[in-house]
Amino acid sequence: MRSFYVETLGCQMNKADSERVAGLLLAHGWKETQAASDAELILVNGCAVRLKAEKRAVNRASEYVRTYPGAKVALIGCVAEWRGQELLSTLPGLHLMVSPARLNELPDLAQAGGIALGHTMWGAERTEPRRGMGIRAWIPVMRGCDRNCSFCVVPATRGTQVSFPPSFVMERAVDALESGYIELVLLGQRVSAYSYRGISFAALLKQLAVLPGLRRIRFTAPYPSDIGDDLLEVMASTDVVEKRLHLPLQSGSDRVLKLMRREYTITGYLDLVERARALIPGLGLSTDLIVGFPGETEADFGATLAVVRTVGFDTAFTFAYSPRPGTVAASLQDQVPAEVSQERLARLVSAHHEVLAEKRKEEVGAMVKVLVEGPDRKDPRFMMGKTSNGRVVILEGDFASGDEVSARVIGLRGHTLHAAHVRAGGDQSCGS
């Protein structure tokens, strides 16, 4: 039987795409292997959002070409679309390249090899994805992005924005829940821009939140200025919706936001944070931040530090800017030297950690409700779960995935909450 192995690098959308590819190949009679060494076809689903990620994907593919000369190696996803035909000369052993928009063509090309790049019309695909282990199912609700942030390759790699019909999304969600998944993660590059014949993202979320068997629903990634009170109200009033917002800030300086072509100001962003916190008590907030963007001065960077201290994010994904040839930002004047970006990145991370340490200390002693996901990856003697506002909690005890546990926070592991289960009588089952 023909066999394949798929390795996924990058974001949750890539994970969902890999599940889709695996589902398609299985439906066409292929068998999935757990190791690349056992596969006839090795697929690397790579990310292109940063230079480092792109290099990693290309290196992985060339490593497979060298190590398994008898296998067929494919590079798929954003990196295939971004680097395109050029890879055929730099990586001559490559058997197949497929862009994110054309993954449904993969089974036809898998045996003979070839190239399927560029964007096509979206069509509802009936093949079930091969989902991963655990409690969570990824549910893409749209693809592409119509914004044009000057640093971003997504509009080029994933094409223009297409929202999927609610009936299609609903079908996918019901299938996942009927297969035993209890948490749904709605995915879109700019998920808050979802719009299908008058149905907004808030309305879609509300429809999905009442599905039987659903214990938690979350979404990523929204764009700050898309978020209206309708979405915040659905989050506030619907128990199963995660009380956490990922709000990519990118920079704390209006001048840099303009250079980035982001369509909000710092005042607007802080106002949104305030409204969201007022409507959703205990709201968890996470963000993305880029330092060393072309033209960023020390004063601009200081403004970013100030917003980080003001907001007190629970999680911050921080990056030093790396130019992506072909983007508008790469040709901007005043590129910031790499050593300056790295030094700013270190200061940003340390400011964020300072704020976080203070916040987390205040949570010690509090009662939390934890949805158990499975064994802790770092130390399988413990279980790992999340609160409804997205805090990761390490728990001691014999719980199963999907259990909902009341626990008291008894300490911290770095910035992660360590909690002890509280039994009905009030006694604690573990300590640290």
Minimum Å gap between C-beta 288 and ligand SF4 is 8
Which lies closer to ligand SF4 via its Cβ, residue 223 or residue 382? 223
Q: Helices in 75-185 by DSSP H: which ranges?
A: 78-83, 86-90, 106-109, 154-158, 166-178
In the complex, least distance from residue 342 CB atom to ligand SF4, rounded to whole angstroms: 22
What long-range pairs does 262-265 form, CB within 8 A, spacing at least 24?
A: 262/149, 263/147, 263/223, 263/225, 264/224, 264/225
Considering beta carbons, is residue 99 or 189 the nearer one to ligand SF4? Answer: 189
Which amino acid, one-letter code, is at 16? A
* Residue 190 beta carbon to ligand SF4: minimum distance, rounded to whole angstroms: 5
Residues 6+ apart with CB under 8 A from 357: 415
Distance in angstroms (rounded) separating the CA atoms of residues 156 and 145: 9
Are the C-beta atoms of 418 and 409 separated by less than 8 Å? yes
State in angstroms the smallest separation of the CB of 148 from ligand SF4. Answer: 6
| CB of residue 161 to ligand SF4, shortest distance in Å | 9
Q: How far is the CB of 188 from ligand SF4 (least distance, A)?
A: 9
Binding positions for ligand SF4, rule: CB under 6 A: 145, 147-149, 152, 154-155, 189-190, 223
Which residue, 157 or 387, is less far from ligand SF4 as judged by CB?
157
Quick one: 158 or 216, whose CB is closer to ligand SF4?
A: 158
Q: Is the dihedral of CA 263, 151, 296, 289 positive or negative?
A: positive
Q: Name the residue nearer to ligand SF4 (CB basis): 260 or 280.
A: 260
Judged by beta carbon, residue 13 or residue 176, the one nearer ligand SF4 is: 13
298-311 and 338-363 are packed helices; what angle lies between their axes, rounded to 10 degrees?
A: 10
Q: Are the C-beta atoms of 194 and 163 separated by less than 8 Å?
A: yes
Query: Residue 292 to residues 11, 23, 185: CA-CA distances in angstroms?
Result: 22, 41, 32
